[in-house]
């Protein structure tokens, strides 16, 4: 494939000589609740098409939605983490439009009264400063199914020979988080956009409410961009860029659109209000299919669902249970663990911070925990081609291995074999030690010491053995086996006893 | 059909058809008659009088499941013979309006667009019928998606009024009420969005109840207007309706608008009412529901009914509910608005009719062609009205204003129920009109629901009970008794007292089908 050079007519620096960029970011997040938003079907990614479906999420005639309380809880926790207010009485609305992957031809969403609103997120930028992004609202809605267009050149509906529909995703709970216009970022607008989505991802991951995988679509970002001539305060016409599937793409898409808008405006043209698609390969955007008619979604209150009135007590208990914000946690552990900036960055970049912290919480010293995750386990993940978080070992298991090393039960070399055993599915660390006979008692010097100790404790028996009565060795072997809690090899102990009495 | 084919050991098939559900249930439990005999008698009655829609039969049914019914009857007979606990209506046959899902029968909603669809699940109410041992005979005709007052909007031809086969049986649930009136089923389920149980009850001389909104699960009821739809019982007596009411009512977690409250004691109320004492009951006559547009014979029958209530000891007063005049226009904005959204799912993609899918057309075109071919004129009219009422430029002036009117109507009810225990009115302003008479005049058709709509908008309970016949044309008239939400038992008590006082002086409950017999 030919590499296409990313090019926009103007750099952001050039753009900002003439204009102030205005951004609005809409992030859709799929919640990782066990079941869908309005039915009991599993909320799972990657199942065989149309296997996680029922009359409700297929919108069959006569079916009715039943709200999943876990989704509401996640929505409120997200709102609280984003410093939002929680509406005492909100409700659902129907957004009406026809599309085959939406089985009712309306989407249950929230319209005038989103469950949480008026918040902000203080976003850490690369230079250590903070940018406050104001959150207008976050609302709940159900996801649609997926269409697969077969045939034709573009993979889009136009020109396709036929389409396949998969409703597994239909009814998966979504939260849409909408910012207020982000003004004044100037040349840093693309960076702010990326930093915001990054910070939002970290917050959501910390809450444990979503897988936040942009590559799998569990987090999706639409970037609205417009330019206003410097010194004015009237927003220009905006475009909405979709299909932005990575953090880096958020930055690139905003940068490209800024340059493109400036090119059009400075050559006397006008920006058309439209949806554009981001292309990962070229780093450019292209117009989506123009809407032939103005979309009137005919929102009206969803008559099948009563108003949502979360009690103040519930909201406060959810607030009390919020986790530390990721960057606050970072600052704290850096001090507590005595990390350099570089060490901290390595941990963050390796996606290991949470794992190390959880290992520390499970009782391991920070240095040992960090060392395991960033060296040996990172190597294993790399070899297996999986993310560190996807390794089949838990922080608690790592902490147990660290503890056994500290107790002297395992050497570092043996500990790595125990970890291998856990990764290979052989069970808990203690089970691997037993199963593989890895305890330090199989170590020659340790066994020898145990034998010497037993001989010293029973000098009469030792004398008998030395006198050639080898049968007496049984008593010493028994004592050693007892001392090693049966974890030594009895035959080898026998040999050692005879050796030491020679 | 010859007499030798008729079944029934102790009682003739004909006699079984004339019994109400209460008496049938008594004989079934006493094992004087079997459910199979009762079911077979009704299946034979259907065979004899229902026709196929093209002819001049009653055409109450769109689908009859004789084998399924007889199998269910056998199960009920065994349960009764085993002597274990069975529900009061076990073994009694019932007809189900064809907008409630059934796994063993089609569900058409009277529309072509659901052609070939077999639901994979039972409506909650159907499950409750089965659990209680009732015997579903089949699915009854209705105006398409329950939109209409005559069943003339059914894609499968109108049902006919057993009192006069040239007349409508009311709508939308004309099939259910006609089946009950014609002796084809002792009981039926209907759904009432603006009067679709009560108005057919009134014009067929049967009882129809719209329970309090949310007290009977809507899960499996194909939605017309979600905030108004309510399933309810149809029967030949108030007590029959009450017995069925207690089978189908109760909280259902699958319907979030379902009320989690005890079912009002309607059977007890019907029995108490039948003792004929209404001393101290405050009955309000709604003054707005009289005068111009009311057939004189209907007004006279209603006035006489009010007199009877007074004689039973009720304190009768006149009450004014001025906002009820907004009910009809508000209804014809809210119901179509919700319907325009509810009916969007019928798009040929997943089930039902698909038109124009010849490989050359786009998805949008196939959707349009299917909806064009699959929906009838009235459904299209309401989808367009509703789409307009919800559109950005009209929402406040139409849908928004209708919701305000709805609030005013609720307030009128609240005020009236401060001074009255129940309100009464004629159920519908006229007796059954002739088939074809109003079909080209939607506004005249809509007037049939004038008196019934306010209870849907407010979500309270209402019952229509036979109120004799109109002196003008000898056709049945209905008395409507309205009660506050969750006070359904009050309406039952008053209706049962009136029913008992009136007796059976106005003629046969099961009219002779002379027109049909003549044609055979
Ligand atoms: Zn489902």
Q: Tokens standing for A254? A: 């905003």
Domain count for chain B, please give it.
Answer: 1
Distance CA B255, CA A66 (A): 7
8 Å CB contact between B215 and B263: yes
Please count the CA atoms within 13 angstroms of the CA of A85 that sit on its side-chain side: 8
8 Å CB contact between B264 and B432: no
Number of Cβ within a 10 Å radius of residue B5: 10
- For residue A306, list chain B residues with Cβ-Cβ distance below 8 A: 256-257
pLDDT of residue B508: 46
Partner-chain contact B390 A165, CB within 8 Å? no
Which ranges of B169-221 does DSSP label H, i.e. alpha helix? 174-181, 198-204
Stated as kind and residue range, the H or E segment containing B70 is helix B66-82
Candidates A389, A421, A415, A420; CA nearest to A401 is A415
Q: Tokens standing for A1? A: 């494939």
pLDDT of residue A3: 37
B393 min Cα distance to partner chain A (Å): 10
Residue whose tokens read 């409507």: B480
Instruction: Give chain A's length.
Output: 502
Residue at B79 is within a domain: yes
Number of Cβ within a 10 Å radius of residue B103: 14
pLDDT tens, residue order, chain B (520 aa): 333 333 444 567 788 998 999 999 999 999 999 999 999 999 999 999 998 766 679 999 999 999 999 999 999 999 999 988 889 999 999 999 999 999 999 999 999 999 999 999 999 999 999 999 999 999 999 999 999 999 999 999 999 999 999 999 999 999 999 999 999 999 999 999 999 999 999 999 999 999 999 999 999 999 999 999 999 999 999 999 999 999 999 999 999 999 999 999 999 999 999 999 999 999 999 999 998 999 999 999 999 999 999 999 999 999 999 999 999 999 999 999 999 999 999 999 999 999 999 988 888 999 999 999 999 999 999 999 999 999 999 999 999 999 999 999 999 999 999 999 999 999 999 999 999 999 999 888 899 999 999 999 999 999 999 999 999 999 999 999 999 999 999 999 999 999 999 986 444 456 665 445 444 3
Chain A interface disruption, residue of B254, B337, B354, B456, most A CBs within 10 A: B254
Residue whose tokens read 């609202």: A137
Residue at B377 is within a domain: no
A108, closest residue in chain B (CA to CA) = B341
Cβ of A384 under 8 Å from any chain B Cβ?
A: no
Q: Which of B101, B256, B337 sits opposite A300 (nearest CB)?
A: B337
Q: Which domains does chain A have, with CATH numbers?
A: 2-293 (no CATH), 331-436 (no CATH), 444-500 (1.10.10.410)
ipTM rounded to 2 decimals: 0.94
Active site residues of B: 97, 172, 196
Asked whether the predicted pLDDT for residue A6 surpasses 50, the reply is no
Q: Where are the beta strands (DSSP E) in B27-92?
A: 61-64
Cβ of B74 under 8 Å from any chain A Cβ?
A: no
Task: Please tell me what DSSP assigns to residue A271.
Answer: P
Residue at B384 is within a domain: no
Distance CA A156, CA A147 (A): 9
Chain B interface disruption, residue of A68, A91, A106, A298, most B CBs within 10 A: A298
Q: What is the mean pLDDT of residues A227-247?
A: 92
B220 min Cα distance to partner chain A (Å): 4
Provide the pLDDT confidence category of residue A487 given band limits of 50, 70 and 90. Answer: low
B349, closest residue in chain A (CA to CA) = A100
pLDDT of residue A156: 60
8 Å CB contact between A200 and A179: no
Cβ of B341 under 8 Å from any chain A Cβ?
A: yes
Q: Tokens standing for A452? A: 């010497």
Q: Residue B40's domain is classified under what CATH number? A: 3.90.1300.10
pLDDT of residue A5: 38
Residue at B295 is within a domain: yes
Mean pLDDT of chain A: 89
Residue at B338 is within a domain: no
Residue at B361 is within a domain: no
Q: How far is the CA of A102 from the centre of ligand 1 (A)?
A: 13
pTM, to two decimals? 0.85
Q: What is the mean pLDDT of residues A244-263?
A: 95
Partner-chain contact B101 A61, CB within 8 Å? yes
Residue at B386 is within a domain: no
Asked whether the predicted pLDDT for residue A290 surpasses 90, the reply is no
**CB pairs A-B closer than 8 Å:** 100
Partner-chain contact A304 B257, CB within 8 Å? yes
pLDDT of residue A413: 78
Partner-chain contact A60 B351, CB within 8 Å? yes
Q: Which of A64, A157, A296 sits opposite B256 (nearest CB)?
A: A64
Cβ of B485 under 8 Å from any chain A Cβ?
A: no
Residue at B271 is within a domain: yes
Interval A303-348: pLDDT, tens: 999 999 999 999 999 999 999 887 788 888 889 888 888 888 888 8
Centroid of chain to Cα B163: 17
B252, closest residue in chain A (CA to CA) = A66
pLDDT of residue B281: 98
């Amino acid at each position: 494939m030919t590499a296409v050079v990313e090019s926009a007519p103007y750099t952001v620096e050039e753009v900002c000589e003439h204009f102030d960029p205005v951004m609005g970011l809409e992030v859709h997040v799929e919640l990782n609740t066990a079941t869908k938003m309005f039915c009991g079907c599993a909320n799972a990614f990657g199942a065989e098409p149309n296997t996680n479906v029922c009359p409700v999420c297929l919108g069959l005639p006569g079916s009715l939605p039943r709200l999943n309380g876990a989704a509401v809880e996640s929505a409120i926790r997200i709102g609280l983490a984003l410093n939002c207010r929680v509406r005492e009485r909100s409700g659902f609305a129907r957004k009406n439009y026809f599309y085959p992957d939406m089985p009712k031809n309306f989407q249950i969403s929230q319209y005038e009264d989103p469950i949480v609103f008026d918040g902000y997120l203080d976003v850490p930028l690369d230079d250590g400063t903070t940018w406050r992004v104001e959150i207008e609202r976050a609302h709940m809605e159900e996801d649609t199914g997926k269409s697969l267009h077969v045939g034709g050149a573009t993979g889009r509906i136009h020109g396709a020979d036929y389409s396949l529909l998969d409703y597994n995703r239909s009814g998966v709970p979504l939260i849409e988080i909408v910012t207020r216009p982000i003004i004044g970022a100037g040349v840093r607008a693309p960076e702010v956009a990326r930093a915001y989505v990054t910070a939002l991802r970290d917050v959501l991951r910390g809450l444990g409410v979503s897988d936040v995988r942009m590559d799998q679509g569990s987090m999706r970002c639409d970037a609205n961009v417009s330019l206003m001539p410097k010194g004015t305060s009237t927003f220009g016409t905006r475009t909405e860029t979709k299909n932005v599937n990575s953090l880096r793409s958020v930055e690139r898409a905003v940068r490209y659109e800024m340059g493109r808008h400036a090119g059009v405006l400075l050559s006397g043209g006008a920006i058309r209000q439209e949806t554009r698609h981001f292309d990962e390969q070229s780093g450019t955007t292209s117009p989506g299919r123009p809407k032939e008619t103005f979309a009137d979604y005919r929102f009206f209150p969803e008559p099948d669902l009563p108003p949502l009135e979360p009690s103040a007590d519930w909201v406060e208990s959810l607030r009390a249970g919020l986790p530390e914000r990721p960057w606050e946690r970072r600052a704290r552990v850096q001090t507590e663990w005595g990390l350099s900036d570089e060490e901290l960055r390595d941990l963050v970049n390796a996606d290991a911070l949470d794992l190390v912290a959880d290992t520390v919480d499970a009782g391991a010293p920070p240095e040992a925990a960090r060392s395991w995750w960033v060296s040996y386990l990172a190597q294993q993940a790399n070899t297996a081609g999986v993310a560190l978080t996807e390794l089949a070992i838990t922080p608690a298991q790592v902490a147990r291995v660290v503890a056994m090393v500290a107790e002297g039960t395992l050497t570092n070399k043996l500990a790595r074999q125990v970890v291998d055993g856990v990764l290979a599915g052989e069970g808990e660390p203690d089970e691997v030690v037993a199963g593989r006979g890895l305890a330090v008692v199989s170590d020659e010097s340790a066994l020898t010491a145990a034998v010497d100790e037993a001989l010293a404790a029973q000098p009469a028996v030792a004398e008998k053995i030395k006198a050639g009565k080898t049968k007496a060795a049984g008593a010493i072997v028994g004592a050693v086996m007892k001392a090693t809690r049966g974890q030594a090899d009895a035959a080898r102990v026998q040999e050692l006893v005879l050796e030491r009495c020679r | 059909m010859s007499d030798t084919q008729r079944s029934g050991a102790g009682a003739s098939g004909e006699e079984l058809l004339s019994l109400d559900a209460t008496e049938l249930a008594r004989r079934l439990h006493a094992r004087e008659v079997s459910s199979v005999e009762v079911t077979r008698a009704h299946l034979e009655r259907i065979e004899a009088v229902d026709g196929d829609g093209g002819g001049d039969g009653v055409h109450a049914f769109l689908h009859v499941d004789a084998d399924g019914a007889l199998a269910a009857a056998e199960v009920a007979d065994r349960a009764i013979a085993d002597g274990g606990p069975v529900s009061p209506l076990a073994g009694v046959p019932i007809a189900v309006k064809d907008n409630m899902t059934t796994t063993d029968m089609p569900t058409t909603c009277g529309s072509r667009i659901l052609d070939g669809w077999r639901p994979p699940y039972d409506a909650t109410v159907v499950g409750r019928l089965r659990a209680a041992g009732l015997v579903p005979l089949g699915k009854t005709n209705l105006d398409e998606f329950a939109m209409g007052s005559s069943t003339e909007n059914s894609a499968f031809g109108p049902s006919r009024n057993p009192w006069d086969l040239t007349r409508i049986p009311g709508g939308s649930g004309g099939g259910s009420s006609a089946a009950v009136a014609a002796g084809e089923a002792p009981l039926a389920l209907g759904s009432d969005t603006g009067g679709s149980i009560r108005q057919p009850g009134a014009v067929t001389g049967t009882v129809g109840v719209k329970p309090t909104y949310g007290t009977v699960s809507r899960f499996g009821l194909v939605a017309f207007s979600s905030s108004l739809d309510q399933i309810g019982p149809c029967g030949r007596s108030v007590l029959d309706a009450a017995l069925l009411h207690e089978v189908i009512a109760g909280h259902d977690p699958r319907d979030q608008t379902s009320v989690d409250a005890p079912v009002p004691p309607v059977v007890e109320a019907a029995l108490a009412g039948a003792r004929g004492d209404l001393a101290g009951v405050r009955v309000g006559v709604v003054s707005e529901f009289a005068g111009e547009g009311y057939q004189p014979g209907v007004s006279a029958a209603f006035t006489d009914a009010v007199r009877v209530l007074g004689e039973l000891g009720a304190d009768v007063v006149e009450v004014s509910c001025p906002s009820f005049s907004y009910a009809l226009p508000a209804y014809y904005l809210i119901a179509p608005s919700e319907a325009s959204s509810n009916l969007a799912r019928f798009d040929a993609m997943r089930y039902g009719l698909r038109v124009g899918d010849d490989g050359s057309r786009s998805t949008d075109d196939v959707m349009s062609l299917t909806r064009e071919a699959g929906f009838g004129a009235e459904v299209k009219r309401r989808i367009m009205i509703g789409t307009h009422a919800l559109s950005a430029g009209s929402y406040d002036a139409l849908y928004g204003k209708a919701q305000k009117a709805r609030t005013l109507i609720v307030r009128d009810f609240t005020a009236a129920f401060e001074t009255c225990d129940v309100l009464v009115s004629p159920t519908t302003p006229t007796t059954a009109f002739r088939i074809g008479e109003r079909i080209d005049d939607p506004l005249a058709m809509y007037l049939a629901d004038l008196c019934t709509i306010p209870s849907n908008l407010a979500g309270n309970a209402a019952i229509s009970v036979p109120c004799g016949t109109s002196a003008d044309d000898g056709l049945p008239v209905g008395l409507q008794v309205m009660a506050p939400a969750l006070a359904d038992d009050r309406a039952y008590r008053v209706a049962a007292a009136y029913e008992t006082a009136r007796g059976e002086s106005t003629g046969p409950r099961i009219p002779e089908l002379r027109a049909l017999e003549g044609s055979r």
